[in-house]
Structure 1
């Protein structure tokens, strides 16, 4: 008996008029079943990804007191550095074994969203950090828009339905460092079982083992993608908007066994969010007799984000 596998699709098929309908059907089916899919043919050069990882590794190698200069107390981790031992999966007893950095969207400081989308911080110790990190941010933002277009078509919306709902989205690029685990046994996981908050997440560098996805049968399925593949999964905001047609699937990053635990792990998810004032209200087309509306009360994207950040101890 073969173990179940999460599909990987080539998004170049979406750009071809002849193959687009089949691609949309296959991608939609993958997300309905798994909430996860691998995306290849995405067009982001390997050199850009490698350069970003080099910059991120160099930042995390800086002394602790240097990194902590970029921690914003009371900022909910919105920008800059979040130290090891802070974020805790919802409902978990033990904090995650990670430290991370947040890059947000660059917006004019007189924007209506400026109050909830603070300016970025950039480490002066690594001058190229800004251009490299924000270049990757923009590439993933564009790829995310293409994935959302395909998902929109799958549920009967126009391909451009999400464009004006995400063009000032409070999206986050999060370089993560999971340090070596030196204790013989720890109760913590590198990332405890959780679901993401946002619309979709694009994970660059999922070629390192550790990511596991909870199947509908309750089995943990490892998903170690090929080097040329970006893992894209559904977040809770899109689950809520689509009345669970697209499920936000529980996933985790498990600790390696034996000598593997002594090695650091790096990953970089991009959390694609809607605009802060977007109202998350169940799409009428996703309400059926078999799937009545699960969320009679709408909520703004920012209101939902604030609520969830408190749950995971970032606020």
Structure 2
């Protein structure tokens, strides 16, 4: 597999073949491009329009939905708050988080999974993003079943691990840039915290992953495909057999600097109380267990949220 070209995989492929293909792509890149997923195209189009309309609202109105006490878990997070781990400059973005609505009385309901926040406008926001979240969630479970097969597990191995999981859909806005000379970029080099991330393509380019040779590779998906990447939780679970690859959103060239960039990642998480313990089949004499001590998914999340500036 070429080290500078991500293959585009189809979910219509035979189950075993798709599992092998996406596992190989993850093992090589930490990323895969996937098409033929079961998310409604019209729903996606409406979601883009509503996201753009929300971020166009006055700053004071958007900030009504920002609660610093919950570390960006739900609702609005203003421009210039999130920072990549170990970075010197904050990312050039603002975002909105939609999370899972837990059943009443769930023991998982706490500061990590508070109730959703919904804006008064634009009209239809809640209905569209509730349904888009549901469809993302189902597609993510399908991808995880393929990963389970690739790892030699039962295809339903992840089902209980992600049941009522702390997955988050993020609506991202990178505003136009006035200064291209500074060191800050739209999203600094980072790895994702979660199991896997599913990302719908943005109109504006910029997503890049760091190849094993130290060169940045474009990871912008073609029309009709999404980007899926390994997160730090899956990397830890698989003892780095499936790597969480560093990626970034670089700044545009001068010709595109006046344009906003929008994207919609879905961060698929484990249940908060799930113990992340190295899979035995990912431990060999050549790849000894890096993580002999298990860690709860929520402990891992809280540690990383502090590192990226969303929690104190």
d(CA) in 2 for partners of 1:27 and 1:205? Answer: 18
Quick one: structure 1 residues 61 and 207, their matched pair in 2 at CA, closer, same or farther if it must change by over 3 Å? closer
Q: 1:314 maps to what in 2? A: 310
What is the CA distance between 1:207 and its match in structure 2? Answer: 4.9
Give the aligned CA root-mean-square deviation in angstroms.
1.1
Q: Deviations over 1:55-111 (max 9, x none)?
A: 111000000000000000221000000000000000000000000000000112411
Q: 1:16 maps to what in 2? A: none
What is the CA distance between 1:179 and its match in structure 2? Answer: 0.1
Q: 1:118 maps to what in 2? A: 114
d(CA) in 2 for partners of 1:191 and 1:76? Answer: 18
How does 1:99-248 map onto structure 2 within 5 Å? 99-115=94-110, 116-248=112-244
Q: 1:279 maps to what in 2? A: 275
Q: Deviations over 1:103-143 (max 9, x none)?
A: 00011241101113100000012231111111111111101
d(CA) in 2 for partners of 1:125 and 1:136? Answer: 17
Matched positions, count: 309
**Aligned residues of 1:206 and 1:227 also touching (Cα < 8 A):** no
SS at match of 1:186: coil
Q: 1:8 maps to what in 2? A: 8
TM-score (norm 2): 0.97
SS at match of 2:193: coil
What is the CA distance between 1:7 and its match in structure 2? Answer: 1.5
Are 1:35 and 2:30 counterparts? yes
Q: 2:52 maps to what in 1? A: 57
Q: Deviations over 1:123-178 (max 9, x none)?
A: 01223111111111111110100110001001110000000110110000000000
d(CA) in 1 for partners of 2:253 and 2:128? Answer: 33
